[in-house]
Structure 1
Amino acid sequence: MKRDVAEAINKLMLEYGAKLDESVRIVMESCSPSEFESYRAAVGQIMGTMLVDVMNPIYREHPDLKPPQLDE
C-alpha cells in the first residue's frame, strides 16, 4: 500500500476507534448493565476486526505508523 494511502487509512482507523470508545462510554452511562455488556462486546468485535484485518497489515508494511499505545 502506498504510504500516503496507509497514512490516511491509519488516521481514519484511529479516529473511528476513538469514536467507538466514546460510544461505549455513552452506553455505559446511559443503559442497563446487560445492554452495556452486549454493546461493548459488539464494539470489541468491530475494533478487533479493524486491528487485525486493516491496521496490522498497514503496520507490517509501515511499522513507523503504529502508535506506541498499540504495543502495550
Structure 2
Amino acid sequence: MGKDIAKDVALDVSKQLLDAYLSVENATRIIQEKCSKAEFEGFRSEAGKVAGGLYLLLEPLWKAYPDLAPEGVDMTPRERKRGKR
C-alpha cells in the first residue's frame, strides 16, 4: 500500500483514519475523567492497540504522500545506521 493508491483516495482514507484516531483519543479522555483508575488503565491499554493499528494503516500513505501527514509528523526517510555485522 502506498504509491499504488491514488493521492485523492489516500487523502480521503487519511482523513477518515485520523478522525477514528481522534475518536479513540477523546473516548480515552472520557474514561479517564469519569471512571476508576483501573478502568482507565485497562481502557487506555486497549485504546493504545487501536491507535497503533491506525498508525500502521496511515504510515504507508504518509510515506507515499508526506504532505498528507499531520503537521509535526515527519515522514522523511531517515538514513539507516550501519551496524556491525
Instruction: Please confirm whether the aligned pair reaches a TM-score higher than 0.5, indicating the same fold.
Output: yes
5+ residue gaps, structure 2, are 75-85
5 Å-filtered alignment, 1:1-72, equals 1-52=5-56, 54-71=57-74
Per-residue deviation, 1:70? 2.9
Runs of 4+ in 1 over 4 A off after TM superposition: none
Higher relative contact order (CA 8 A, sep 6+): 1
Cα RMSD, aligned residues only: 1.0
2:69 maps to a residue whose letter is K
More helix by share: 1
TM value normalised by structure 2: 0.77
1:70 maps to a residue whose letter is V
How many residues were matched structurally? Answer: 70
Per-residue deviation, 1:69? 3.3
- Cα distance between partner residues in 2 of 1:69 and 1:26: 25
Instruction: Say which SS state the counterpart of residue 68 (structure 1) adopts.
Output: coil
Rg (Cα) greater in structure: 2
TM value normalised by structure 1: 0.90
| Percent identity between the two aligned chains | 31
- Cα distance between partner residues in 2 of 1:58 and 1:12: 12
